[in-house]
Amino acid sequence: MKVNAYATREPKGLLEPLSYELNELGAEEVDIKVIYCGVCHSDLSMMNNEWGMTQYPLIPGHEIAGEIIAVGTAVKNLKVGDKVGMGWLSASCMSCSQCMEGDHNLCSSSEATIVGRHGGFADHVRGHWSWVVPIPTGMDMGKVGPLFCGGITVFNPIVIAGVLPTDSVGVIGIGGLGHMALKFLKHWGCEVIAFSSNPDKKEEILAMGATKVINSKDPNELEAIQGKLKLILNTTNVKLDWNAYLSALAPKGKLHTVGAVLEPMEIPAFSLIGGEKSVGGSPIGSPGLTKKMLEFCLRHEIYPIVEEFPMEKVNEALDHLKSGKARYRIVLKN
């Protein structure tokens, strides 16, 4: 099958039309007609080889929402015509301890949708059936795509940390990831503290679900919530005063990063020891947790705030993201 896509051939290069032929469909594989594909900051990082693992030409796109057009002979629980999504991972080995225990997202042999293979800035994409997740009936196809990467990335830490509705939780950075975390935590029942460096966004952030907005550039505001938070979720990829946030944690609290901070994080040992605090991180969640997240979103009508561009204007969409003007996730439509 011929696939028409958009690819870049070098770091910081533009995306240009590229066609390629898919090999014969494997027994456990699924072909998806891409209807929508979200644009994630990870696409930019891969395009520019910031993580040192990009292979060119690169077809980005890993927040895919579409329809199954073909299934292999050994595919389970999926059929032609199903509305489905696929995110950062497109396959895992299905036999290691992590896969067998339900932690497919931690499989050391997993296949990322845009690492060494072709992604969803295209009219079709292929994946293993286990990572092709059905979209519940009634969900908005135009908004569901970003949930398969950005959404599950911030949903997973809430589950990992065992967050209760009675807990106070902080979110650093109210952008593409952070705004979805606010929505999840609001409906989880938590007191939600948003850390933002942009005071002009305060009312908008409160409307998303934050209980309170803290100016992250004001040491006095940070000091006022010392010892209050069960979990602080960092969604940014920049160096911050980590000790100030550790001080805001309650005893046994956790600072958890999903933002790909490239510089080493400076963590004073005594800031952890005194309160039995911890620092951690996580990738996306498993296919099973992704299904639960979609059910949670359907129940509470949770969607990312999106801006839609036609697929053929992908470079314009990326420029919009680079400028910092995206509010809050960009979705491309075929």
The string of DSSP codes covering 68-95 is: EEEE-TT--S--TT-EEEE-SEEE--SS
* pLDDT tops 90 at residue 283: yes
**Residue 291 — very low, low, confident or very high, per pLDDT cuts 50/70/90?**
very high
The helix or strand, by DSSP H or E, that contains position 280, with its residue range, turns out to be strand 278-281
Q: Once rounded to an integer, what is the mean pLDDT over residues 273-283?
A: 97
Query: Phi and psi of 255, rounded to 5°?
Result: -95, 115
Q: Which residue is listed with tokens 């890993």? A: 62
Global pTM?
0.97
Q: Which residues of 21-44 are buried (b: 16+ CB within 10 A; e: fewer)?
A: eeeebeebbbbbbbbbbbbbbbbe
pLDDT, residue 284, reads 98
Q: Once rounded to an integer, what is the mean pLDDT over residues 31-45?
A: 97
For the stretch 58-116, pLDDT in tens is 999 999 999 999 999 999 999 999 999 999 999 999 999 999 999 999 999 999 999 99
227 within 8 A of 248, measured Cβ to Cβ? yes
Find the length of the chain: 334
pLDDT, residue 199, reads 86
* pLDDT tops 90 at residue 295: yes
**Residue 40 — very low, low, confident or very high, per pLDDT cuts 50/70/90?**
very high
pLDDT, residue 143, reads 98
Sign of CA dihedral 16, 89, 326, 263: negative
pLDDT, residue 219, reads 87
For the stretch 221-262, pLDDT in tens is 999 999 999 999 999 999 999 999 999 999 999 999 999 998
